[in-house]
Amino acid sequence: MIIRNLRRPLALASALIAVGALAGCAGTTGTEAGSGSSDTYTWWDPYPQHEEGSDWADRVQACGTEAGVTIERTAYDTTALTNQALLAAQENNSPDIILLDNPAVSTLAETGMVSTVDELGLDVSGVDENLLAAGELDGETYGIPIGANTLALYYNADILTEAGVDPASITDWASFEEALAAVSETGKRGITFSALNTEEGSFQFLPWFWGAGAELTELNSPEAVEALELWKGWLDAGYAPNSVITNSQNTVWEEFLTGEFAFAENGTWQVNSAAEAPFETGVITLPAKDGGAAPAPTGGEFIIAPVQADTARYEVTRQIIECMTTSEGFVETATTFAYYIPPTAEGQEALLEEDPELETWVSAVQSAKGRTSDNLGTDYPIISEQLWTAVQSALSGAESPQDALDAAQEAAAAETGGQ
């Protein structure tokens, strides 16, 4: 086992706030981690809503039992968890295992506090490359996704029927705008989404940004401008409400459930709610400009193993991680949380055997992209903040899409050292 020196963990803590939970819950107060005794392994995750005795807590403990140890689990909310992990590493007091929001993996890895999968002897050859990329930095992989969630377009089937729109006909931006125009003629609203000035805003804009062919290293490219002009055009035409500027993803869903909107951009986590809506719903993948599924950003956690002074602990750590990441384990996680798609083809096939209606979500995850992919690492939170700031400025009418994105690119380059 290679033990690396920790590098500047506290200097990165402030950057992590921008990458926090997309829909977090208040966390519980964590106990100190410590390496613990040889028969107790410490585990941190961002699920305080799943208390002791829940299906999730029992599942975690079962993997400890299988490895012959007891797991001491502590839950924090997402941002608190990441910052606690940095502090614990500085104090040489890291837990054995952490489930971490995927955009933060490369940030922690950059400090030297996370073991690579090769060091642990873990096989990740079956994990979808587009999902694994969120945990990669400088050619090394620092964890395994336990599943993924992402975005798609929910639709109100009653409104589309009235407007004469077949959802299967929506394959690119042009056909989607035709659908929005047809819905508008019925007196209903076309689409609601979140353009909030937080990570939620960037998260929801990225499918259109990437779907236009834009890259996060060039925020003011012609493709990026075209994507922002698309959103601005929807507001100008009345297809989307001005409230999108202040909408959280939860608010978006509340608006959709009123029955006044044909489409809502939202995530896998609303599958059960959509099934219980007072009208018939369906879901399609977000369209790329020229057709096909747009790359939507991946949500979800990676399971990682912080560096330990006592290297003898790694063997059991590996066993616990392997228990969580078998095909059966991935499906069990998906079933437990009701909104995670397994990150392997085998796991996805097994899930679809249980629930064929998730096929659109499996396709969306297969086309998805990690926010820190392309080796962005700790630059991502900086770039994302400038992106959501530009979206806010353009949609509010303060600046044109071009001017807003020019300013964003200049600010991001100044902070990241880019061009």
Domain ranges of the chain: 9-148+301-361, 151-296+376-416
Query: What's this model's pTM, rounded to 2 decimal places?
Result: 0.87
Residue 287, strand partner residues: 293
User: In this structure, are residues 67 and 95 in contact, taking their beta carbons and an 8 Å threshold?
Assistant: no
265-281: buried (b, 16+ CB within 10 Å) or exposed (e) per residue? bbbbbbbeebeebeeeb
What pLDDT does 384 receive? 96
Under 8 Å between Cβ of 399 and 407: yes
- Contact at 8 Å (CB) between 180 and 234? yes
Instruction: State how far the Cα of 411 lies from the Cα of 391, in Å rounded to an integer.
Output: 14
Print burial letters for 87-110: b (CB count within 10 Å at least 16), e (below 16).
Answer: ebbbeeebbbbbbbbbbbbbbbbb
Sign of the C-alpha dihedral computed for residues 317, 319, 321 and 324 taken in this order: negative
Closest CA to 277 of 155, 165, 383: 155
Pick the CATH number of 151-296+376-416 from 3.40.190.10, 3.40.50.720, 3.40.50.300, 3.40.605.10: 3.40.190.10
Measure the CA–CA gap between 9 and 309, rounded to whole angstroms.
Answer: 17
Q: Which CATH architecture has domain 9-148+301-361?
A: 3-Layer(aba) Sandwich (3.40)
| pLDDT < 50: residue spans in the chain | 1-35
Tokens of 89: 């590493």
**What is the model's pLDDT at position 16?**
42
